[in-house]
A and B are shown apart, each in its own frame.
Chain A
Amino acid sequence: MIADFRAVQRLIWILVLSIAWLQTAFAQGFAGLGRDEEGFLPVLPGKEFSFPTDHGPHDGHRIEWWYLTANLQDVETNEAIGVQWTLFRSGLGPPSDNLSEETTAGQVSIWSADYLFMAHAAVTTSKGHYSAEKFARDGVGQAGVSAAPFSAYIDDWVFEAREGADLLSDTRLRAYGQDFGYDLTLAANGPLVLQGEEGFSIKSPEGQASYYYSQPFFSVRGEVEIDGVVRQVKGRAWMDREWSSKLLAETQSGWDWFSLHFEDGQKAMLFRLRDRVNGDFFAGTWIAADGKSTSLKASQISIDPLRTKSVEGRKVPLDWRVAIDGRGVDLRTKPLNDNSWMATSFPYWEGPIRFEGSHAGVGYLEMTGY
């Protein structure tokens, strides 16, 4: 008994190691998006998307995510509140490596997983930014994604179709952190939008790409709890689905990604991949109020930082000028909270923004690699 306790005691060393280890694991999958495909499936143009299958996971690809951001407001006070929910799935090794040990009876442990899940949840107000993260192995029931009925989950953080609902048309989104939580209902009021060229989204001149589609037409209702105070909220949400095996070029250091909801119902997605060697790479999609999407040319897009501030010891551009040539768009964006820093294993800046200029509206900004 005592010896047993001692053994548990020594777990402490593993506890220590685990944090550093997990970071490395994801560095090889998530943050190290510029690594070689190494036996994972390539991303090629001309894919025929098929739903609901493509809502589910794609074995053979290295990295995949289910990414939700919501611009909400308190029903009573109209105070702006941002919500983020993200589930990443990352391959631990190429499919050919996935040789699990068998017992003499031919059984295989479900714990010898080929994929790891990582999830981030956050709530942002003008006064505070709350975030949490989770990790899980694939295949043990702790985390997973199924296409129909749709369900993406890790522990008690869940994004799933409500009972009897058709795929993503009526969903529920939940997450809980130490000092925050939310339980939201999301109803899709428009079609899915394929990004890039029919869902083939190029990330660099060398041809790195991902499969990428979005559901930017969610209307949201529900509850957000911060520090024990529950608020009724409403607003809109945007879901991104993306998977790839080699997302970035080796010389690309990070990205600045915008999702914009214009007050007139139009939407836009824009990103800039920063590349010191070959120059920045720009891409985007214009989404009409009825969901009809048009790919934007790099030459149409300008994204320039206007105000930079030190956040958590890093210089992060917070106010931006965003212009789309040919669409009459010239905006100035400001964050709801300058300190929307995700203090997760891979820290990055992600938070709600609002914009003025040629158009007014709200959106989300994600900045990595700072």
Chain B
Amino acid sequence: MSNASASAYSRTRPMARTDLSWVLRTLLSHWPRHPLQAITLVVGLAAATALFSGVQALNFEARESYDLAAQQLGADQLSVFESRTGEPFDESVFAELRRAGWRVSPVVTGSVVVEGRRVTVMGVDLVSLPATAAVRGLNGVGADQQESTGLTPLVFMRPPYVSLAARQTLKELNLTANDQPLTRDEQTLPRVVEVDGMAPLTLIMDIAAAQTVLDKIGKIDRLLIATEQRSGLLPVSDITDTKLIERLPPTTSDTQQLTGSFHLNLTAFGFLSFFVGLLIVHGAIGLSFEQRRPMLRTLIACGASKNELTLGLIIELAIFAIVAGLIGLVLGYIVAALLLPDVALTLISLYGAQVPGSLTFRASWWGLGLAISLLGTLATAAKFLWAIYQMPVIAPAQPQAWLSRNARSHRVSVITAVIFLSVGVLFLTFVGGLFSGFLIMGAVMASAALVFPVLFSVGLRLAEGVAGTSVTKWFWADGRQQLPAMSLALQALLLALAVNIGVGAMVGSFRDTFTGWLDQRLAAELYVNAPVEKAREIEAFLTEGDTVETILPVMLESTRYESAPLRIMGITPHPTYSDNWPLIAAISDPWARLEDNEGVLINEQLARRFGYRPGENIVLDLPNGPWKAAIAGIYSDYGNLVNEIMVPIDRVANNWPETQQTLFLLRMDPAKTSGLSAELQDRFGLQQSNMIDQSGLKEFSLQIFERTFSVTAALTVLTLIVAGVAMLTSLLSLSISRLPQVAPLWAMGLTRGQLAALDLVKSLLFAGVTALLAIPLGLVIAFILTDIINVEAFGWQLPMTKYPAQWLVTIAMAVATTCLAALPSFLAMRRSEPTDLLRAFANDR
């Protein structure tokens, strides 16, 4: 650079043979003279990169944790057959079911005492264990472990057998690898082999060894049911005389889906950040180009070719993009690191301590951040670069000339918006899937941003038409004239506000749905799951005492519908249900119909899977014979994977006379729940896990949502800051370029204070209108998130709730942001020197 400039100086005709470095040097010389503008550009770019990369990092970390957790929860998704009494049953049932085509696998469980510690022993049959889809991603572990431990199937399946145990188990039982634990009953267990990922104080061994150790020869405790079964299987009651019940998998999917939704929430924010980021970069670059038009004109006049000029500008932009991108990455890392504990806390609450609380530094993350910064800068600058490349030699002398062209581009904007939306709708209709969901969201946001200035302009023209005084007429006309320069900032504000409303509505709806779901499932104050042998006794105790106002027994049974598991929930009709249980769709008086045995309610999953609608009939194969029931309503059953049907309790009792009522919903004074649960623990030895206290669980889950909200709130503030910066840069740009327009009004008698106030009012008006328009757009985005993306992602629909209070906050924040952003130009106008205003006349053209 220095050599080049030195040689340029030595020439007698410095610009005769132009030199790219010389052009670049001239272009860059703009910045030391406009430090504030340089800072704005860097801040804008850095903020865009920071938001994008920060959210990406969070997203990535959350997704990693989510996948990990999902894998570890996988095996829970198997249903099991158990005997009705919970007692072990004859092992021949296994062969009976297998011969009938059922894919089941036997398990023997029990416990032994080793070194004074109670140890769970599980016996499994490797040969018939279902290899579920949940093992994906964990393959290969077996081979490694075989090598290091000498563990082979033969070793596992043949005498003298082995006991698999976690390292922690070995430690707690004072064992080293290959030791043979001795039980309290002086029984020698197979040698222990350490295996990763097992539960503590658990030994897994071959079923033959476990039967021997647990003295359960000839018996099994349960049969795992593989997820995939062939169609047309006989019901188990037709195959074996042993009375079996199918216990469905615990609904761990609740937490998986909660996390999935949290992740989706972050993705939506990543999306928003990307959009808002591009807009601010666009604004900042537009400003710098606009201000340098006289300089560009001079450079062209001095002989610089347009190619050199364009290339120089690209290099300049690249330098900015890299510098600002690096700053943005550091900021993004800080943002992510600050927010991660909240994210991690949320995930830890959901899964237990499985989520790393620290951010992993990834090279790919740096690369992506810089690439986004560079690409975003160049993409958003393309329009200006093209304009410069095409610029007639004379035109650059008129700083505002290019803006007037925007009027013509209105039509183009509308057409582009229509094309975007059409593509989105086409994809959604014919392709579907999550990608199409996000595509339509992008299309809506882009279209809204494009159409927004057009609408605004039309509105201003109408206002101008009805304006009375000349000053108000000027006010509206000036607003319209200002609009092209302001529209970028306003678009950024619009999208920031709209997505905040949308995502806020989604998270809020999620919270409401979830607590609503808790209300349905746990509508009662206390929920007692009594052991079979104590159920009668407990029920009698609850009936006699006066603590409990109402006892609502529930009977759960399972059967199969179209060879998929179906949970039948027999309830005691009560306002507890009808008042709390939200229905997605229903015919009239669904609860009365249920009570009168004229109808059933089914969950959304069952309805969706088989296309049922209220008013239609469903035929169930019950032990007493087929039963045709009218569907009175469909309830949202958030997070449940299993098909479910709700019937009056008598229906279950009549069909399964042996089933005991073991589940009780208790309506009572909430203040007395802890006392009662303590008493139940003392008197009947009930475990805490047998009782669910509604308020406790609700509090816990609300905490999760509060954390989600705090992450959302932080991101809201950040996006508003970005929009505010965009506003600031636009207004600053205008305050310089608008002097010639304002000066005549000053000359006509308006004071500088009045002019400044008018400008401020105009900015606030713009922001207010933008905020108002952001509400419907936000609702559309919320609709896309809850009714399209959520359905595509999870298969169920979130009932959308509207939060007017949140909108008011949004408008207030928009106005506050605008006030802050408009303050510097307001002060500048107030303090502007009369000489400056006079000079506007002197310099004008």
Interface residues of A (CB under 8 A from B): 1-22, 24-25, 28, 92-93, 97, 99-103, 105, 107-113, 116, 135-137, 140-142, 153, 155-156, 176, 178, 181
Chain B residues with Cβ below 8 Å from A92 are: 154, 157-158
Give the Cβ gap from A250 to chain B, nearest Cβ, in Å.
21
Known contacts A15-B131, A25-B154, A156-B101; is A109 also within 8 Å of B72 by CB?
Answer: no
Which segment, of B132-140, B498-506, B538-546, B787-795, faces chain A?
B132-140
User: Are B160's CB and A101's CB within 8 A?
Assistant: yes
3 closest Cβ pairs, A-B complex: A141-B95, A21-B153, A20-B142
* Residue contact A109 to B207, C-beta cutoff 8 Å: yes
Q: How far is the CB of B420 from chain A (nearest CB, A)?
A: 41
Assess whether B844 is interfacial by the CB under 8 Å rule: no
Check if B76 sits within 8 Å of A14, measured CB to CB.
no
A214–B645 Cα distance when bound, in Å, is 55
Do the beta carbons of A7 and B122 come within 8 Å of each other?
A: yes
A111 touches B154 (CB 8 A): no
B33 lies within 8 A of chain A by Cβ = no
Of B204, B209, B228, B250, which one neighbours A101 at CB under 8 angstroms?
A: B209
Choose among B91, B99, B158, B689 the residue that contacts A155 (Cβ–Cβ < 8 A). Answer: B99
- The CA of A19 and the CA of B146, in the complex, are separated in Å by 12
| Contact across chains for A103 and B215 when beta carbons are under 8 A apart | yes
User: Who on chain B is nearest to A12 by CB?
Assistant: B75
- State in angstroms the CA–CA spacing of A158 and B282 once bound together: 72
Known A141-B99, A155-B98; 9 more pairs at CB < 8 Å: A5-B76, A7-B109, A11-B204, A21-B146, A101-B212, A140-B91, A142-B99, A155-B103, A156-B98
Are A136 and B197 neighbours in the complex by a CB distance under 8 Å?
no
Which of A16, A103, A136, A153 is in CB contact (< 8 Å) with B127? Answer: A136
B98 touches A142 (CB 8 A): yes
- Other-chain residue from B94, B120, B142 in contact with A17 (beta carbon distance below 8 A): B142
Is B126 located at the chain interface by the 8 A CB criterion? yes
For this complex, 8 residue pairs linking A to B, each with C-beta atoms less than 8 Å apart, are A2-B689, A17-B141, A18-B126, A21-B152, A111-B91, A112-B206, A153-B99, A156-B99
Return the contact of A24 from the options B92, B122, B154 (Cβ within 8 A): B154
A17 touches B145 (CB 8 A): yes
Q: Specify which chain A residues have a CB less than 8 angstroms from the CB of B95 in the assembled complex.
A: 140-142
In the assembled complex, how far is the CB of residue B685 from the closest CB belonging to chain A, in whole angstroms? 13
Q: Nearest residue in B to A116 (C-beta to C-beta)?
A: B127
Within 8 A of A (CB), among B281-319: none
- Residue from A21, A101, A156 in contact with B208 in the complex, judged by beta carbons closer than 8 Å: A101
**B1 CB-CB contact with A under 8 Å:** no
Question: Is A176 a contact of B154 with CB atoms below 8 Å?
Answer: no
- Given known pairs A92-B158, A93-B154, A140-B94, the reply for A13 and B125 (CB within 8 Å) is no
- Which residues from A are CB-within-8-Å of B154? 24-25, 28, 92-93
Query: Which residues of A lie under 8 Å from residue B586 when comparing CB positions?
Result: none
Q: With A and B bound together, what is the CA distance between A198 and B217 in angstroms?
A: 45
Q: Taking the nearest CB of chain B, how far is it from the CB of A4, in angstroms?
A: 7
Interface of A is mostly: mixed
Enumerate chain B residues within 8 angstroms of A10, measured Cβ to Cβ: 75, 197-199, 202, 204
Provide the residues of chain B in CB contact with A111, threshold 8 Å.
91, 125, 206-208, 211
* B-side contacts of A11, CB under 8 Å: 75, 122, 124, 129, 204, 224
Interface pair A108/B217, CB less than 8 Å apart: yes
- Does residue B100 face the partner (Cβ distance < 8 Å to A)? yes
Cβ A24 vs Cβ B152 within 8 A: yes
B143, A12: Cβ atoms closer than 8 Å: no
- Bound-state CA distance A108–B152 (Å) is 23
Asked if residues A112 and B159 are in contact (CB atoms below 8 Å), the reply is yes
Given contacts A24-B152, A100-B208, contact A13 B131 (CB under 8 A): no
Q: Which of B142, B146, B161, B195 has the most chain A CB atoms closer than 10 A to its own CB?
A: B142
Query: What B residues does A142 contact at CB under 8 A?
Result: 94-95, 98-99, 128
B92: chain A residues within 8 A (beta carbon) = 141
How far, in angstroms, from A5 to B352 measured CA to CA in the complex? Answer: 15
Measured CB to CB, the closest approach of chain B to A158, in angstroms, equals 8
Partner of B212, one of A109, A141, A156: A109
Residues of A within 8 A of B80 (CB): 8
Is A22 touching B204 in the complex (CB atoms < 8 A)?
Answer: no
Contacts of B72 in A (CB 8 A): 9, 12
Q: Compute how far the CA of A113 lies from the CA of B159 in the bound complex, rounded to whole angstroms.
A: 10
Least distance between A129 CB and chain B CB atoms (Å)? 19
In the complex, A7 Cα to B250 Cα: how many Å? 13
**B125 and A178 within 8 A (CB):** no
Min Cβ gap B86→A in Å is 11
CA of A156 to CA of B158, assembled, Å = 26
Q: What chain A residues lie within 8 Å of B91 (beta carbons)?
A: 110-111, 140
Could you say which residues of chain B place their CB within 8 Å of the CB of A19? 131, 139, 142
- Please determine whether B75 and A107 come into contact, CB atoms closer than 8 angstroms: no
Q: Mark B148-169, 1 if CB is under 8 A from A, else 0.
A: 0001111011111100100000
User: Is B14 among interface residues, defined by CB-CB distance under 8 A?
Assistant: no
Q: Please, which residues of chain A bring their CB within 8 A of the CB of B551?
A: none
1/0 per position for B46-80, CB-CB distance to A under 8 A? Answer: 00000000000000000000000001111110101
B609 at the interface (CB under 8 A from A): no
Complex Cα distance, B143 from A89, in Å, reads: 24
Closest residue on chain B to residue A11 by CB atoms: B75
Asked if B549 is an interface residue, CB under 8 A from chain A, the answer is no
A99 neighbours in B (Cβ, 8 Å): 159
A12 CA / B139 CA spacing, docked (Å): 11
* Chain B residues positioned under 8 Å from A105 (CB to CB): 217
Q: Which chain B residue has the least Cβ–Cβ distance from A18?
A: B126
Q: Contacting B217 at CB < 8 Å: which of A5, A107, A178?
A: A107
A109 near B129 with CB under 8 A, answer: no
B101→A109 contact, CB < 8 A: no
A15 contacts B76, C-beta separation under 8 Å: no
Q: Which residues of A contact B145 (CB under 8 A)?
A: 17
Per the bound structure, the CA–CA distance linking A11 and B199 in Å amounts to 9
B161-202 vs A: 1/0 string, CB under 8 Å?
100100000000000000000000000000000011111001
With the chains together, A194 CA to B208 CA distance in Å? 39
Chain B residues lying within 8 Å of A109, measured Cβ to Cβ, are 207-209, 211-212, 217
B211 touches A135 (CB 8 A): no
* B153 near A22: Cβ-Cβ < 8 Å: yes
Query: A106–B371 Cα gap in the complex (Å)?
Result: 73
Nearest Cβ in chain A — how far from B340, in angstroms?
27
Q: Which of A99, A108, A141, A178 has the most CB of B within 10 A?
A: A141
Expressed in whole angstroms, the Cα–Cα distance for A16 and B122 within the complex equals 16
A28 CA to B120 CA, complexed, in Å: 32
Which residue on chain B has the smallest CB distance to residue A8?
B75
**A-contacting residues, B94-131, CB 8 Å:** 94-96, 98-101, 103, 107, 109, 120, 122, 124-131
- Cβ contacts under 8 Å, B164 to chain A: 13-14
A88–chain B nearest beta-carbon distance, Å: 13
Give Cα A336–Cα B416 distance, bound, in whole angstroms.
Answer: 54
Decide if B237 is an interface residue (CB 8 Å cutoff): no
Give bound CA distance, A116 to B687, whole Å: 43
Q: Does B405 interact with chain A (Cβ within 8 Å)?
A: no
A4 partner residues in chain B, CB cutoff 8 A = 109, 120
Question: Quick one: CB contact mask for B688-724 with A, threshold 8 Å, 1 for yes?
Answer: 0110000000000000000000000000000000000
Q: How far is the CB of A224 from chain B (nearest CB, A)?
A: 15
Q: Contact: A25 with B120, CB < 8 Å?
A: no
Using CB atoms, name the residue of chain A closest to B134: A12
Tell me if B408 counts as interface (CB < 8 A to partner A). Answer: no
B98, A13: Cβ atoms closer than 8 Å: no
> Interface 1/0s, chain B 417-433, versus A by CB < 8 A?
00000000000000000
Known contacts A92-B158, A100-B208; A13/B127 CB under 8 A: no
B130 to A: closest C-beta gap in Å? 7
Interface membership of B230, Cβ < 8 A? yes
Q: Give A153's nearest chain B residue, CB to CB.
A: B99
A176 / chain B contacts, CB cutoff of 8 Å? 101, 230
Interface centre among A9, A93, A178 (most CB of B within 10 A): A9
- The answer to whether A155 touches B125, judged by C-beta atoms less than 8 angstroms apart, is no
In whole Å, how far is B229's beta carbon from the nearest beta carbon of chain A?
10
- B127 adjacent to A15 (CB under 8 Å): no
